[in-house]
Amino acid sequence: MTTPERCNILIVYDGPELARWLQVVLEEQRKDMVHWATHVEEAWTWIAQNPPDLIFTNILIPPSLDAIEFYQQLGERWPSLRIPVMVFGALHSEDYRTKVKEQGLAGYLYLPRHPKDFVIARDKAMQGETYFPPLA
């Protein structure tokens, strides 16, 4: 399977510095159309109007949802969409990483990461693959 040249990506994160950095990385490296939601309701609204090809989300999503719950609710709301969800965060936990994998999410990126890791994660998700680089 080939990687789409341009994807519609949604970042769900309330931290403007990292979200903007990730937006720039994906727009410059892959010419993606990147949008940003700061909380779960904003994400639901965006998804309903403009279903993305991929979602990058932090472990915790304001006001009180974690990435696994977000993924489960996404599937309940739009079961036919099957949008891959890639999780990122500073939680250095093999247990949480395993839960993310077991629940069927597209991957887990422990922060900080090199920009190329986000590009690799994007490419793998768009090819239907997962990406779980080592936590070390």
pLDDT in tens, 36-65: 999 999 999 999 999 999 999 999 999 999
At 5 the pLDDT is 77
Q: Phi, psi at residue 89, to the nearest 5°?
A: 170, 170
Residue 15 lies in a domain: yes
In a domain, 135, yes or no: no
**Which of the four pLDDT bands, split at 50, 70 and 90, describes residue 136?**
low
CA distance 28 to 89: 22
Dmax (CA) for the chain in angstroms is: 38
pLDDT of residue 134: 87
- Answering whether pTM is above 0.85, one says yes
Distances (CA, A) of 12 to 24, 62, 98: 15, 9, 21
Please check whether residue 70 lies inside any domain of the structure: yes
Torsion from C-alpha of 60, 61, 66, 67, nearest 10 degrees:
-100
Q: Is residue 131 part of a domain?
A: no
User: Per the domain annotation, does 12 fall within a domain?
Assistant: yes
| Full residue range of the structural domain in which residue 27 is found | 8-126
Number of domains in the chain: 1
| Within a domain: 111 | yes
Confidence band, pLDDT 50/70/90 cuts, at residue 77: very high
